[in-house]
Amino acid sequence: MPQPMLAYRLDTLRFIAVNDAAVRHYGYSRREFLTMTINDLCLPDDDPWSGAEPPRLDPAGPPGLRTTWRHRHKDGTPIDVAVSGVSLVFNGRARVIAVNDITERKRAEEELRQLSSRLVRSQDEERRRIARELHDATSQTLGALAINLGVVNESAGSLKPEAREALGDSFRLLETCTREIRTMSYLLHPPMLEELSLPGALHWYTRGFTERSGTQVYLEMPPDLGDVPGDVALTLYRIVQESLANVYRHSGSRSATIRLSREPGEIVLTVADRGRGIPPGVLERDLGKQSSGSSPGVGITGMKEKARQLGGRLEIQSGIQGTTVTVVLPLLQEGARSAGSSG
Ligand SMILES: Nc1ncnc2c1ncn2[C@@H]1O[C@H](COP(=O)(O)OP(=O)(O)O)[C@@H](O)[C@H]1O
Ligand SMILES: [Mg+2]
């Protein structure tokens, strides 16, 4: 199929010529095209997150740019297009653009995104289940075991020395096991956000985390964080949980610092440790380019996915000085969405 090509004046943005492929692709007749400007092809700006997106290419901007636009067919159907253009001197100055329909590709990408978000959600559910199981079943069993060992201990005097030693050892193993299970089920525990605000929940969680893991956590946030929408709070909370779990399991660091700050239109969270850093290669892998070898952690992938679902982003800096996870989430109030063009 020949590619749709359109030529328009750079001063008025009015079309001066289009090819048959463009007529077929957009559904306008050639005569209609000649009464229109390039902007008439663009979708009205109804994207609630448009304020957070990079600005559209100015149709009269510098030549030679490749970019994607959201166009629409005459019947209103949105079309995602990749556009490449050149400027020429032609009846004044004009731009000729060639258009590639990438609607299908975008749709496939969206499907992939939904798939990975479903993966993240089922991971969440799985964690809740494991946490509950560890807490409700395994911990209770260990409790019963402690009672039994206590009974045996009462007649420790009549045991052979080796048996007595093994008994003492069993108490120590039991204690370790109980502590590990408590820590793990705590790390996996569903949030307390329903009952507490985000700062309250973070205080509660980090206090418990320090008690169980022995890792000191410094929590820095403004005295008045203001209103944080529920989905943003939950995402931040989950990212703190995952990041602290990573500090505990991988970093070797005995402390972590959490900073939460509010900027105009966004909320910024960092979780930093002073540990050994993420091994080289781990961060390059992500869901899209999974190698068959060691798989990327679902933790980091999940955190990125959660941030992206809310129109935000997550970056990780890591080196021998330690690891810092930074999340930026946009804060657009329901009512202010259409007005949100803060840049
Ligand atoms: N704070 C950290 N310090 C050092 N290494 C880390 C840290 N966070 C993550 N990593 C490394 O990155 C890998 C991927 O992390 P993640 O995606 O959370 O998966 P998982 O924790 O299940 O292994 C970890 O296995 C670990 O090697
Ligand atoms: Mg992890």
Q: Are residues 33 and 73 in the same domain?
A: yes
Q: Which ligand is nearest to the CA of 325?
A: 1
- Whether residue 253 has its Cβ less than 6 Å from ligand 1: no
Whole-number Å distance, alpha carbon 297 to ligand 1 midpoint, is 7
Q: Rounded distance, CA 182 to CA 213, Å?
A: 10
Q: Which residue's alpha carbon is nearest to atom 23 within ligand 1? A: 297
Q: Which residue, of 72, 101, 130, is where some domain finishes?
A: 101
Q: Rounded distance, CA 145 to CA 188, Å?
A: 24
pLDDT in tens, the chain (343 residues): 689 999 998 888 899 999 999 999 999 999 999 999 988 888 765 444 343 333 345 666 655 556 778 888 999 888 888 888 777 766 668 888 888 888 888 888 888 878 877 877 787 788 778 887 887 788 889 989 999 999 999 999 999 999 999 999 999 999 999 888 887 777 776 567 767 789 998 998 899 889 888 899 999 999 888 888 888 888 899 899 889 989 998 999 999 999 999 998 999 999 999 999 999 888 876 544 444 444 445 788 889 988 988 889 999 999 999 999 999 999 875 444 333 333 3
Q: Which residue, of 101, 128, 160, is where some domain finishes?
A: 101
Question: What burial class does residue 333 get, using C-beta atoms within 10 Å of its C-beta: 0-12 exposed, 13-18 middle, 19+ buried?
Answer: exposed
Q: Which residue, of 164, 190, 216, is where some domain finishes?
A: 190
Whole-number Å distance, alpha carbon 125 to ligand 1 midpoint, is 20
**Nearest ligand 1 atom, CA 301:** 17
Find the domain containing 145 and state its range.
Answer: 104-190
Q: Which residue's alpha carbon is nearest to atom 6 within ligand 1? A: 278
Q: Are residues 283 and 318 in the same domain?
A: yes
Structure tokens at 13: 């943005």
Whole-number Å distance, alpha carbon 182 to ligand 1 midpoint, is 21
Q: Are residues 231 and 324 in the same domain?
A: yes
- Whether residue 278 has its Cβ less than 6 Å from ligand 1: yes
Q: Are residues 125 and 33 in the same domain?
A: no
Q: Look at the chain and report how many structural domains it folds into.
A: 3
Q: Are residues 15 and 95 in the same domain?
A: yes
Instruction: Output the CA–CA distances (angstroms, integers) from residue 53 to 98, 288, 313, 329, in the order listed.
Output: 23, 22, 12, 13
Instruction: Pick the closest to residue 250 from 323, 178, 306, 177 (CA basis).
Output: 323
Q: Are residues 155 and 69 in the same domain?
A: no
Whole-number Å distance, alpha carbon 295 to ligand 1 midpoint, is 11
- Whether residue 312 has its Cβ less than 6 Å from ligand 1: no
Q: Are residues 184 and 217 in the same domain?
A: no
DSSP 2-35: PPPEEEEETTT-BEEEE-HHHHHHH---HHHHTT
